Each structure stands twice: as C-alpha cells, then as structure tokens.
C-alpha cells in the first residue's frame, strides 16, 4: 500500500524532501513506517533518534502502533510548542 | 553638539564591586542622581526583571497615594530600564534587559523584555539601571557615555521611524553607538507602542514605548566604556566555553539557528492550534511555514554573546519575522502570502508597534466588523479577512492615530468605543492581548499560564512547552519536584508546572538571559539553576544554591503580584478570553477542546497553593513583610 509521508521542520532537511511516498506492506503500523524511513534515509533516522516525531495520520495525532491504511497521509512533526 | 543640559554627577555610594549602578533621571528638573543598589537588594533580586519590580513597586507607592491614581502617562509613572545581572558579560546569551512601568495598555504592571545590543552597551557606558521620571519640556534623548548622562534635544529626530532614528543617532555619535528608541507609535501614545533596540528587537509588550513617548523621550543612546568587570574572569571564560559547547549540541539550538522561530508555525498549524481569524478557526495556510519564510532570509542574526543566532535578516529591509508575528499578522488576520506578512512585520517594527498586540487588535476589529458590531461608519472602509492593503493602511493609521486607527491605537481599551458584547471577542487577559499565536484551549497548562502571567496574556512568563515532549514519568518528576500527570490536555498538576516555569523564567530574566538557552523552554536540558549558580559565582562572587536561586524567582513573582494587587487585581482577573471557555476548537486534533470553567478554577486553586498564596491569590502577610524589609533600602538610597 502507498503511504504519503510529509516531513515537518527540521526532518525534511535531512532528506531534502518535503513529501515522500512510501510503499508498505498491508497491515503495517506507524512504527513500521518509521523503520522503513530509517532504512531508506539513515540521516532521517538520526533525527528520529534525537527527537522521536509526533505522528499525525490525517488530522489526528496517532500512537506509534497505529495501523496504516492504503493512501494514508502521515505527517511527522517535531515535538515542540514554544513561542 | 548642542547639549540642552548636562547634569550627571559622580557615583554617590558604592557597596559592591560588581554592583548595580542606577541613575534616577528627572526629565522635568534635569536632575540626575547616580547611585548604587545595595548588596542586599542585588542578592534578593539579582537584576533585570526582578530588580525592576522592586523599584517599580517603590516608585508607584512613593507618592503616598494610591498607585491606581498614577496614570500610565502621568509624569510620576517611572520608566525603569534595567539590565540583567549577567547582561553584557560573556555568559551565553546574556543580552537582555527589562523595561517596566505602569502599562498604558493593560493599566497594570507593565514589563517588557528585550534583546539586541543595547543593554550591554548601557552597562559598558556605566549604567545597569535607569529610572526615568517626569516629562521633558521638549522632545529629548539621553546619552549615556563613560559614566555620565546627558539630556539632549531630539531636534530633527521626533517624527522619525525606528530605523532612520537609529541610523541618525549612530551617524551623530559614532560607530559603536547603540540605542533604544521609539517610533511614531510611541510619540503618538499608541498604547501598544514598543521600544526598539534594532530593526526588530523590541521591548514590545504593554506599551512601554508609549510611556517613553509620554515623557517626550525619543531615545536612549549608549556609547563608550569598558568591558564589564567580573569577579573571576578565567572561570567565567571556562564556563562560557563549556556551556556553549553543550548548548550547541542541543538540536533545538541548532534548528533555531537555521530556521528561527518560524519552525513553530507548522507544528501549531498541524495540531490545529494556530490562532486563525481571531480564533474562530484554528488552522491556516502552509505559505507561512518556516521554509517559506527562509526564502526571504539572507542571514541569521544574533544578540550580544548569543550562541543561537535565531533571528532572520529578511531581504525586504527588515529583520524577522518571528513565529508570533507570522501567526498574528498572518493567520490571525487571514493573510497568507509570505511576502505580505514579512512586509507587515517590517512595517510594525519600523513604526515601533508591538506585533502581537497589533495583530490581535486588528483581528478583533475584523471579527467585530464580520459580526456587524461595527460598520463602515466607524471603520471608514470594509474590514475583511486577508485584505492586505487595508491592513497595511490600518497599521499606519494606528501609528499616526488617524481615523479608525486612532481608536485601535487604544488597544484593548478600544472596547469603550464598541458595543458591550465586543469584549467577548477580545483575545486578551488583564487587558493585554495574547502574545503568541498558539490557541491554548488544547494544552491546559498553556491556558493556565497565560491566565496567571503577571503582565497579562503572555507565553514568555511560564509556557510549559515540556508538556508536549511526552517525557518519561521519572524525568518529569525530577524536573518538577514530584510525580505529575503526563496528559497535557488534562487539568491535573498544571499549577505545579506553571509555578515551576514562572520561577525558572523569572530567574532567567533577572540574569538577562535568553529563553532559548533556558531550561524548560523548548527543551528539558539547556541552562537551569545549577548552571545559573556557576555563572553568578564567576561573575559576582555571590554564592547561590538552586534552592536560594529559585527563591529569587518566587520573590519576583510575589513582588509582581503585590504591584498588581495595588492596581486592584484579584483572583477574578486570573482568567481567560470568553471564547476559550465557551467555544470548542473547530478542527484537527484539537477539535472539541475548550476550557472547562470549573476545572479552570481547580487549576487556579492548585497554582495558588504552589505559589504559596492564599485561595484568593493574595500574597501572605509574612511574605509581604519580607519584601518590604528587603526593599526599604531603596527609599534611603534613591531619595
């Protein structure tokens, strides 16, 4: 299944892309997606090591074990809220 | 160089080698008294915000009457400009100073914190703190130079915008000159006028620029002097190297140095927490994301001794914008094009307006127009969301008090021109428009924070950003001193967390340090009490423990509470905009969230307990006596 991944600041800078389309096995979970991204983009994996992302599926923040569905839009966001 | 009069004298009393030199300047008589702050007072308040509060309370009470009778534009309202204890030293990010007075915007405690290079220059010129009283007969400015102060005529400067004023002063007084100036907004007593120390660096909150304007004071200029003497130079240098190395390994420090605060826009927007169209909506366009702002940036700028470099220099002639400005002059008024928001950012800065209040007040007016509570007969033109041309013109009209802009120049006090229900749509607390673009209905600690912030709705007093980090229980317990509820959208334990932030950030302000290296603001790491203790010892020889240092923060908060009590504030004023209670957020992750009134009162109860105040939010008599005892020395020293 296809998953559209959008990378927020500063994650996208590790790969130079704002959006990535990932192909995942059916019944994959968000954690599997992160693992696949780590494998494909090691520099992004280093970012995740420093600051694990908040995962949004569609408009909703989702736990890392959330099931993904074909065509899902996943937004990986830095855990921050300052001013 | 024509000098109206020169009346500074020698330093009268000296208690400390690294003491706080203070000048009391009477603009009516021209008298200037230069003295020092006693060691006892420095130990109690350090400097910066805390020390300003001690002096502000003293001066507001010194006339013997009710402080409420001293209008913000009354010549008796003191304008206090105070550098932090470490400001101007090589301590990391030690650039900051506070400007304090009765606020013409909120009517209560006014206090604004600012970076740049001015405060270090002020200290090098020989002054840690200025208390400016009275009103000059003609437009004037102050020149601080090698331990002396001159009051000079501001001929030719009055009427100038910020950048031109700063350039003229630099041309007149030479390279190395730094200045804190007001623009047309301050001159015209716009209640949200800022004092600017650079193209963007602003003492913006609470209308301190209008207080300066009411004193006929266009600028304060500092030049000359020596490096600031410290107790243990080598130790401080070693600390700087060590702390700088540690700070530079922080990911947030690295990212702020690349993207600046605009990185926060996307985060809030994704969540559905970006104030949009006066908080009727909670998400907006991606055109204001960090990388879009970056396209207009040619350099990242720093303040004195900064290791972060968070400020964009934009290619449209200004600096910034920050996240707050992007949100409040963008999403909050419905303007999406990146370039337009940057132009508006540059405009408010050059006119000397507080971007936060300006964006909030214009959005308020737009919603009133949308609802038919005001119409063209008052506004002159339609006020429509996203109408850049109208907003641009309106900002200028606010600064010059023309047409409808003259009404909005009153900031939250413009409510008197509108129907009574207009107040329901004002996003302000204690009459101060909310500073940041984060809609606080989702994270309940954020809501409590702006409700109790001493200067009104402001995130920089205590924002518990660690709430969103999902830190392990044991880490949170270690930070805050006891176990606490991890749910940032719940109401439990928020009093504990806000009181912790209050104190940490107050101490940081007393020292003159930047939020971006202060523990608890965007990171559980960075510099906290232990590192502050080391810096203070190396700079002054004063020994503190984390506990005694936190007590300085507590004392600062207590003093601020007492000042506001003098202005008549009570528990009822620790509240939120009506919309945050009564209207659920409309979309995205935050959908449905609002602040439950009963739960909010429970948070307030808990907060007061953590602060050691009674259930009405009053500082107990024992603490008042302690503060009175510490601050009685002010009267002996300055009068």
pLDDT digits (tens, 9 = 90+) for B175-195: 999 999 999 999 999 999 999
Q: Write out the two tokens for B26.
A: 């009477």
d(CA B461, CA B109): 13
- How far does chain A reach from its first CA to its final CA, in angstroms? 38
pLDDT in the model for residue B18: 65
* Beta strands per DSSP E along B182-227: 195-196, 202-203, 217-223
pLDDT in the model for residue B12: 43
The answer to whether residue B290 neighbours chain A at the CB level (below 8 Å) is yes
d(CA B449, CA B463): 6
The answer to whether residue B459 neighbours chain A at the CB level (below 8 Å) is yes
pLDDT in the model for residue B5: 37
Hey, are the CB atoms on A79 and B469 less than 8 Å from each other? yes
d(CA A61, CA A55): 6
Q: Write out the two tokens for B365.
A: 């007016």
* Beta strands per DSSP E along B343-439: 428-429, 432-433
A40, B325, B408, B457, B458 from B429: Cα distances, Å = 48, 19, 17, 5, 8
* Beta strands per DSSP E along B546-598: none
d(CA A76, CA A53): 6
d(CA B218, CA B196): 11
The answer to whether residue B436 neighbours chain A at the CB level (below 8 Å) is yes
Q: Write out the two tokens for B234.
A: 């080598």
The closest of A28, A22, A16 to A4, measured between CA atoms, is: A22
Hey, are the CB atoms on B266 and A8 less than 8 Å from each other? yes
d(CA B329, CA B323): 10
The answer to whether residue A49 neighbours chain B at the CB level (below 8 Å) is no
pLDDT in the model for residue B269: 97
Query: Scanning every residue of chain A, which has its alpha carbon at the shortest distance from the alpha carbon of B434?
Result: A83
Torsion, Cα of B133, B77, B135, B395 (10° steps): 130
pLDDT in the model for residue A83: 66
Query: Scanning every residue of chain A, which has its alpha carbon at the shortest distance from the alpha carbon of B263?
Result: A9
d(CA B616, CA B571): 5
**pLDDT one digit per residue (tens) for chain A, 83 residues:** 999 999 999 999 999 999 999 999 999 999 999 999 999 999 999 999 999 999 999 999 999 999 999 999 999 999 998 76
The answer to whether residue B264 neighbours chain A at the CB level (below 8 Å) is yes
| Regions of chain B with pLDDT less than 70 | 1-19
Hey, are the CB atoms on A59 and B438 less than 8 Å from each other? no
Query: Scanning every residue of chain A, which has its alpha carbon at the shortest distance from the alpha carbon of B255?
Result: A10
How many C-beta atoms lie closer than 10 Å to residue B396's C-beta? 16
Hey, are the CB atoms on B436 and A83 less than 8 Å from each other? yes
d(CA B166, CA B197): 8
Instruction: Classify A58 as helix, strand or coil.
Output: coil
d(CA B627, CA B88): 28
The answer to whether residue A80 neighbours chain B at the CB level (below 8 Å) is yes
Instruction: Classify B50 as helix, strand or coil.
Output: helix
- Cross-chain CB nearest to A81 (options B289, B438, B589): B438
Torsion, Cα of B45, B49, B55, B56 (10° steps): -140
d(CA B520, CA B633): 34
Instruction: Classify B319 as helix, strand or coil.
Output: strand
């Amino acid at each position: 299944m296809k998953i559209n991944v959008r990378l927020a600041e500063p994650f996208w800078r590790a790969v130079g892309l704002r959006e990535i389309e990932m192909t995942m096995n059916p019944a994959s979970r968000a954690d599997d997606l992160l693992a696949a991204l780590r494998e494909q983009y090691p520099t992004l994996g280093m970012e995740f090591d420093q600051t694990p992302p908040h995962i949004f599926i569609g408009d909703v923040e989702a736990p890392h074990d959330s099931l993904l569905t074909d065509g899902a839009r996943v937004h990986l966001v830095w855990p921050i809220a300052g001013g | 160089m024509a000098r109206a009069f020169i009346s500074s004298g020698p330093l009268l009393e000296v208690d400390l080698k690294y003491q706080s030199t203070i000048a009391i300047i009477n603009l009516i008589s021209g008298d200037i008294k230069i003295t020092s702050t006693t060691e006892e007072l420095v130990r109690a308040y350090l400097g910066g915000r805390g020390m300003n509060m001690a002096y502000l309370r003293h001066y507001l009470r010194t006339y013997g009457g009710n402080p409420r009778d001293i209008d913000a534009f009354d010549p008796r309202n003191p304008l206090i400009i105070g550098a932090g204890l470490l400001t101007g030293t090589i301590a990391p990010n030690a650039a900051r100073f506070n400007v304090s007075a009765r606020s013409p915007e909120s009517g209560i405690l006014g206090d604004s914190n600012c970076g740049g290079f001015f405060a270090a220059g002020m200290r090098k010129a020989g002054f840690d703190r200025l208390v400016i009283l009275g009103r000059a007969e003609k437009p004037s400015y102050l020149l601080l130079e090698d331990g002396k102060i001159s009051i000079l005529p501001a001929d030719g400067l009055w009427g100038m915008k910020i950048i031109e004023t700063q350039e003229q002063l630099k041309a007149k007084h030479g390279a190395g000159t730094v200045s804190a100036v007001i623009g047309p907004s301050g001159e015209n007593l716009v209640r949200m006028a800022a004092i600017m120390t650079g193209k963007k660096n602003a003492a913006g909150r609470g209308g301190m620029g209008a207080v300066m304007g009411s004193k006929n004071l266009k600028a304060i200029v500092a030049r000359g002097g020596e490096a600031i003497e410290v107790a243990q130079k080598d130790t401080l240098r070693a600390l700087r190297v060590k702390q700088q190395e540690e700070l530079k390994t922080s990911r947030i420090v690295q990212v702020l140095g690349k993207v600046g605060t605009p990185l926060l826009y996307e985060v809030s927007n994704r969540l559905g927490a970006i104030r949009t169209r006066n908080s009727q909506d909670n998400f907006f366009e991606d055109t204001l994301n960090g990388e879009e702002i970056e396209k207009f940036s040619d350099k990242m700028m720093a303040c004195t001794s900064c290791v972060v470099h968070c400020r964009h220099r934009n290619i449209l002639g200004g600096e910034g914008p920050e996240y707050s400005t992007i949100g409040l002059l963008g999403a909050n008024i419905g303007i999406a094009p990146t370039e337009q928001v940057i132009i508006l950012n540059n405009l408010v800065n050059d006119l000397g307006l507080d971007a936060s209040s300006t964006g909030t007040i214009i959005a308020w007016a737009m919603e009133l127009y949308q609802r038919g509570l005001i119409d063209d007969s008052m506004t002159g033109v339609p006020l429509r969301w996203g109408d850049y041309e109208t907003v641009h013109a309106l900002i200028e009209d606010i600064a010059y008090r023309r047409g409808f802009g003259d009404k909005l120049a009153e900031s939250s006090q413009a409510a008197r021109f509108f129907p009574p229900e207009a107040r329901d749509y004002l996003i302000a607390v204690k009459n101060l428009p909310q500073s940041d673009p984060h809609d606080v209905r989702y994270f309940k600690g954020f809501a409590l924070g702006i409700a109790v912030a001493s200067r009104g709705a402001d995130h920089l007093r205590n924002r518990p950003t660690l709430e969103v980090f999902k830190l392990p229980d044991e880490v949170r317990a270690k930070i805050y001193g006891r176990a606490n509820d991890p749910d940032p959208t719940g109401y439990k334990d928020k009093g504990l967390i806000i009181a912790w932030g209050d104190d940490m950030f107050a101490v940081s302000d007393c020292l003159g340090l930047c939020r971006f290296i202060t523990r608890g603001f965007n990171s559980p790491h960075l510099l906290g009490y232990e590192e502050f203790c080391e810096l203070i010892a190396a700079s002054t020889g004063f020994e503190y423990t984390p506990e005694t240092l936190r007590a300085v923060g507590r004392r600062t908060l207590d003093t601020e509470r007492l000042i506001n009590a003098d202005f008549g504030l009570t528990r009822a004023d620790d509240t939120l905009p009506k919309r945050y209670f009564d209207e659920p957020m409309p979309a995205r992750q935050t959908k449905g969230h609002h602040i439950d009134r009963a739960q909010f009162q429970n948070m307030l109860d808990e907060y007061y307990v953590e602060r050691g105040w009674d259930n009405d939010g009053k500082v107990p008599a024992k603490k008042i006596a302690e503060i009175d005892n510490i601050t009685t020395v002010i009267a002996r020293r300055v009068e």
